[in-house]
């Protein structure tokens, strides 16, 4: 394998640096005034999504240089390697094939000599059969009652996607069923999720790729006790527990019949797994047809990402703009503000996807990276966020590029309110970009002493993403857009976006402390002084 040159020393990076020096003080007011065709030229449609990226601090030259950077860094070649099933997750020696999870039956993707598409569809068919049975009431609990409650137990990649999708697609879901999502090992999470549920009518989905994760296994054990305390028969587990995992042996050991296990593969990363078996709760909620529509949305974006040239490639453009702000403007974060109450958990979902993927300090060859990598992603739905932290975005001293997401048709019957929502969305992007000058403030008759407080500098960049409606298809396309944007960023930085050693460490460390909290007597503690004192304090005060 050829070792890539350090990024900052490449011709393309140096060209961007020089260009940044020339354009950093260009204003969006001036760029728009000089170029009536800007909005039309700097926007595009793909997979049912519309992206207006004209309110970014870029010129045509910036975009040309960013595209040149993408080509020089081999983004397209790495993308093709991913679609071809090559082991581009080098630190784990694994293929990266979430794109296979939504590929149609007639696709072929070969990993280690085997076409994975038939297996993908076999699992989807098994999930569909199970979902239909559960939704129709044909799947009965141990005492013959139909299942009314579905509790997904999982954490991280086995939780955030299902929870996000359930809320996003609530309008499409079966309202006779109750869904709960338990992740935290804090017993309050399990207790509160189950306190009003009847064990006779409750199904637990234990979602864990490894089936060894402390939080999930602990909550699954609590669920098992909760079920057996009420039903009093080991055999009840078969009717009240299913598993989503790659680890059949551990599933069997837990006591779940592997007939009730829905599998996936090591080439599906946790944060890229909401469209694998991990999406079973989503499929039960919205039904197999809607789930397949969601997969079609993902796939439509995959096809676009795979085939569009860099300059017209929506995920690549979003990824390149993220690099532009992160590495040249020194922006530390990217805000994501969905103007949709249903997308309340979308920023949290994206946080994991982006930050676990690109929060890396060494490149693919194990050398320290020489530029800043993954930005912090964060956000909240608008309009709520406008009344909390938008102040800092508008008038603070930090540059925060913002992705704004809206839907043209409402899901709610309160259509007038949707107009208010969208008016706010467009107004915020306009205000962030163009601000308000001192002259404009003064012209409103404001006391001259107060004018500075009311000035908005503008030039706060936004991407505006619009879809027709928040449907399963649109959600799939939106998630895939961000997956491939993360991919593009990682390829530019030449980092492994698909490992997560930082998560693995945490999984190991807690195991050492657990016995020290509960052991009888005074255990010998060999941590640092701070950790030793915290453990002793906790032991003193932990109560019964």
Q: Indicate which residues carry an active-site annotation.
A: 356, 387, 507
Of 356 and 380, CB closest to ligand G6Q: 356
Q: How far is the CB of 146 from ligand G6Q (least distance, A)?
A: 28
Q: How far is the CB of 83 from ligand G6Q (least distance, A)?
A: 20
Residue 179, beta-bridge partner list: 150
Binding mask 224-263 for ligand G6Q (x = CB under 6 A): ----------------------------------------
Count of residues interacting with ligand G6Q (CB under 6 A): 15
The DSSP line for 5-48 is PPGGGSHHHHHHHHHHHHHTT--HHHHHHT-TTHHHHTEEEETT
Beta strands 149-153 and 462-467, pairing class? unpaired
Q: Which stretch binds ligand G6Q (CB under 6 A): 67-75, 113-121, 266-274, 285-293?
A: 266-274
Q: Which stretch binds ligand G6Q (CB under 6 A): 258-266, 269-277, 368-376, 393-401?
A: 269-277
Task: Quote the CA–CA distance of 369 and 174 in Å, as a whole number.
Answer: 48
Task: Quote the CA–CA distance of 429 and 402 in Å, as a whole number.
Answer: 9
The residue within the footprint of ligand G6Q, chosen from 54, 59, 173, 213 (CB under 6 A), is 213
Q: Which stretch binds ligand G6Q (CB under 6 A): 62-70, 208-216, 321-329, 522-530?
A: 208-216
Q: Which stretch binds ligand G6Q (CB under 6 A): 12-20, 37-45, 155-163, 477-485?
A: 155-163
Near ligand G6Q in 337-366, by CB under 6 A? 356
Residue 403: HSE in the Cβ half-sphere, 13 Å Cα cutoff: 27
Of 156 and 410, CB closest to ligand G6Q: 156
Task: Quote the CA–CA distance of 50 and 443 in Å, as a whole number.
Answer: 36
Of 54 and 273, CB closest to ligand G6Q: 273
The residue within the footprint of ligand G6Q, chosen from 141, 161, 162, 270 (CB under 6 A), is 270
Task: Quote the CA–CA distance of 112 and 85 in Å, as a whole number.
Answer: 9
Six-digit token pair at 279?
A: 């999406």
- Containing 189, the helix (H) or strand (E) segment is helix 187-194
Contact partners, residue 460, CB within 8 Å, separation at least 6: 393, 394, 399, 400, 401, 402, 432, 433, 435
What's the order of all strands across the beta sheet hosting 402-407? 43-46, 49-52, 462-467, 402-407, 333-338, 376-378
Q: Which stretch binds ligand G6Q (CB under 6 A): 151-159, 163-171, 431-439, 513-521?
A: 151-159
How big is the chain by its Cα radius of gyration, in Å? 25
Q: How far is the CB of 461 from ligand G6Q (least distance, A)?
A: 29
Of 142 and 224, CB closest to ligand G6Q: 224
Q: How far is the CB of 102 from ligand G6Q (least distance, A)?
A: 18
**158 makes contact with ligand G6Q (CB under 6 A):** yes
Q: How far is the CB of 455 from ligand G6Q (least distance, A)?
A: 43
Near ligand G6Q in 389-448, by CB under 6 A? none
Q: How far is CA 128 from CA 135, 526, 531, in A?
A: 10, 52, 49
Contact partners, residue 354, CB within 8 Å, separation at least 6: 334, 374, 375, 377, 482, 486
Binding mask 84-113 for ligand G6Q (x = CB under 6 A): ------------------------------
Q: How far is the CB of 155 from ligand G6Q (least distance, A)?
A: 5
The residue within the footprint of ligand G6Q, chosen from 48, 85, 141, 156 (CB under 6 A), is 156
Q: Which stretch binds ligand G6Q (CB under 6 A): 180-188, 203-211, 425-433, 522-530?
A: 203-211
Task: Quote the CA–CA distance of 327 and 246 in Å, as a whole number.
Answer: 38
Per DSSP, helices labelled H in 334-471 are: 346-358, 390-395, 415-434, 438-443
Of 157 and 406, CB closest to ligand G6Q: 157
The residue within the footprint of ligand G6Q, chosen from 149, 281, 290, 500 (CB under 6 A), is 500
The residue within the footprint of ligand G6Q, chosen from 48, 162, 263, 269 (CB under 6 A), is 269
Are residues 227 and 236 in contact, defined by beta-carbon separation less than 8 angstroms?
yes
CA neighbor of 197 nearest in space, from 133, 151, 153: 151
Are residues 262 and 123 in contact, defined by beta-carbon separation less than 8 angstroms?
yes
CA neighbor of 20 nearest in space, from 243, 474, 327, 389: 327
Task: Quote the CA–CA distance of 47 and 69 in Å, as a whole number.
Answer: 25
Residue 202, beta-bridge partner list: 149
Q: How far is the CB of 244 from ligand G6Q (least distance, A)?
A: 8
Q: How far is CA 268 from CA 79, 249, 481, 509, in A?
A: 16, 19, 17, 25
Task: Quote the CA–CA distance of 107 and 117 in Å, as a whole number.
Answer: 7
Binding mask 301-340 for ligand G6Q (x = CB under 6 A): ----------------------------------------
Q: Which stretch binds ligand G6Q (CB under 6 A): 264-272, 359-367, 432-440, 535-543?
A: 264-272
Of 43 and 210, CB closest to ligand G6Q: 210
Q: How far is the CB of 389 from ligand G6Q (least distance, A)?
A: 26
Of 376 and 535, CB closest to ligand G6Q: 376
Q: How far is the CB of 356 from ligand G6Q (least distance, A)?
A: 5
The residue within the footprint of ligand G6Q, chosen from 89, 208, 462, 471 (CB under 6 A), is 208
Six-digit token pair at 344?
A: 């309340």
Residues at the contact surface with ligand G6Q, assessed by CB under 6 A:
155-158, 208-210, 213, 216, 269-271, 356, 500, 503
């Amino acid at each position: 394998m050829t070792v890539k040159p350090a990024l900052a020393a490449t011709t393309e990076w140096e060209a961007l640096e020089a260009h940044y020096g020339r354009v950093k003080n260009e204003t969006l007011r001036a760029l728009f005034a000089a170029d009536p065709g800007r909005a039309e030229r700097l926007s595009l449609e793909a997979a049912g999504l519309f992206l207006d990226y004209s309110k970014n601090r870029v010129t045509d030259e910036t975009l040309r240089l960013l595209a040149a950077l993408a080509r020089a860094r081999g983004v397209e070649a790495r993308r093709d390697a991913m679609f071809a099933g090559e082991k581009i997750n080098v630190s784990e020696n694994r293929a990266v094939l979430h794109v296979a999870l939504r590929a149609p039956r007639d696709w072929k993707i070969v990993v280690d000599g085997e076409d994975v598409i038939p297996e993908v569809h076999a699992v989807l068919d098994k999930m569909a059969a199970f979902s239909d049975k559960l939704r129709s009431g044909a799947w009965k609990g141990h005492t013959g009652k139909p299942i009314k409650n579905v509790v997904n137990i999982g954490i991280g990649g086995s939780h955030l996607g299902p929870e996000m999708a359930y809320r996003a697609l609530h309008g499409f879901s079966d309202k006779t069923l109750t869904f709960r999502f338990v992740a935290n090992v804090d017993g309050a999470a399990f207790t509160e999720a189950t306190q009003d549920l009847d064990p006779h009518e409750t199904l637990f989905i234990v979602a864990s790729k490894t089936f060894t994760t402390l939080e999930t296994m602990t909550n699954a054990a609590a669920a098992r006790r909760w079920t057996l305390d009420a039903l009093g028969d080991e055999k009840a587990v078969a009717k009240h527990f299913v598993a989503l995992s790659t680890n059949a042996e551990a599933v069997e050991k837990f006591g779940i019949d592997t007939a009730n296990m829905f599998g996936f593969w090591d080439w599906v990363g946790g944060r890229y797994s909401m469209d694998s078996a991990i999406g079973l709760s989503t499929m039960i909620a919205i039904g197999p047809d809607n789930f397949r529509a969601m997969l079609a949305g993902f796939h439509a974006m995959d096809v676009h990402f795979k085939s569009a040239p860099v300059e017209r490639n929506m995920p690549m453009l979003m990824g390149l703009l993220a690099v532009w702000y992160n590495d040249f403007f020194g922006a530390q974060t990217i805000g994501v503000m969905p103007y949709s109450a249903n997308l309340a958990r979308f920023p949290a979902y994206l946080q994991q996807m982006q930050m676990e993927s690109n929060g890396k300090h060494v490149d693919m060859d194990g050398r320290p990276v020489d530029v800043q990598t993954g930005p912090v992603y964060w956000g909240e739905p608008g309009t709520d966020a406008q009344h909390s932290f938008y102040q800092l975005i508008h008038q603070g001293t930090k540059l925060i590029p913002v992705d704004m997401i809206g839907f043209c048709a409402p899901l709610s019957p309160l259509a007038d309110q949707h107009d208010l929502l969208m008016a706010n969305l467009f107004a915020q992007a306009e205000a962030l970009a163009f601000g308000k000058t001192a002259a404009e403030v003064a012209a409103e008759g404001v006391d001259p002493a107060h004018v500075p407080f009311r000035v908005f500098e503008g030039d706060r960049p936004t991407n505006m993403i619009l879809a027709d409606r928040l449907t399963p298809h649109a959600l799939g396309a939106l998630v895939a857009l961000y997956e491939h944007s993360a991919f593009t960023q990682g390829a530019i930085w030449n980092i492994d976006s698909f490992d997560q050693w930082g998560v693995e460490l945490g999984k190991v460390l807690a195991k050492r402390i657990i016995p020290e909290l509960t052991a009888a007597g005074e255990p010998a503690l060999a941590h640092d002084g701070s950790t030793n004192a915290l453990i002793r304090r906790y032991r003193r005060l932990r109560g019964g």
